């Protein structure tokens, strides 16, 4: 704990300036949740009909998840960097080639040596 009193911390201007941004970003998080649910539902239907994910929707979903992470970090005081629209929109991350398989499968040659 810091040696400053609660009275001094209540006078801290940066704390009071952060609060309206936190309300704004909380609302942005709730909106992001709704949009993400829509992306998920459309992607599920598209995948069922076409047999593969829709690429642009997949990229947008990736950006939304990174944005939500940035929102969470700001809201939980883990960063002072304000997310979009006060910083750049997140970049797309590459999707896993096969999300059902581990990235580095174990070498099975050692496990079958004794059999």
Instruction: List all residues 6 or more positions away from 92 whose beta carbon is below 8 Å from its beta carbon.
Output: 59, 62, 63
Q: What is the pLDDT of residues 34-61, one digit of tens each?
A: 999 999 999 999 999 998 889 999 999 9
Residues in the chain: 115
Residue 20 has pLDDT above 70, yes or no: yes
Give the pLDDT band of residue 76 (cuts 50, 70, 90).
Answer: very high
Verdict on whether the full-model pTM lies above 0.85: no
**pLDDT for the residue 68:** 94
DSSP letter assigned to residue 35: H
Cα-based angle 31, 41, 64 (whole degrees, multiple of 5):
40
Question: With the CA atoms of 95, 30, 70 and 12 taken in that order, what torsion angle do they form, in degrees rounded to the nearest 10?
Answer: 180
Q: What is the pLDDT of residues 81-96, one digit of tens each?
A: 999 988 999 888 777 6
């Amino acid at each position: 704990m810091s040696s400053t009193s609660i009275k001094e911390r209540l006078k801290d201007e940066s704390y009071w300036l952060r609060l309206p941004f936190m309300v704004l970003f909380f609302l942005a998080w709730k909106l992001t949740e709704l949009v993400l649910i829509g992306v998920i539902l459309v992607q599920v239907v598209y995948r069922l009909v076409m047999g593969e994910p829709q690429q642009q929707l997949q990229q947008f979903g990736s950006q939304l998840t990174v944005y939500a992470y940035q929102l969470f970090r700001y809201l939980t005081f883990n960063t002072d960097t304000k997310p979009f629209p006060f910083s750049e929109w997140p970049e797309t991350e590459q999707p896993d080639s096969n999300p059902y398989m581990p990235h580095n499968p174990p070498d099975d040659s050692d496990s079958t040596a004794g059999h």
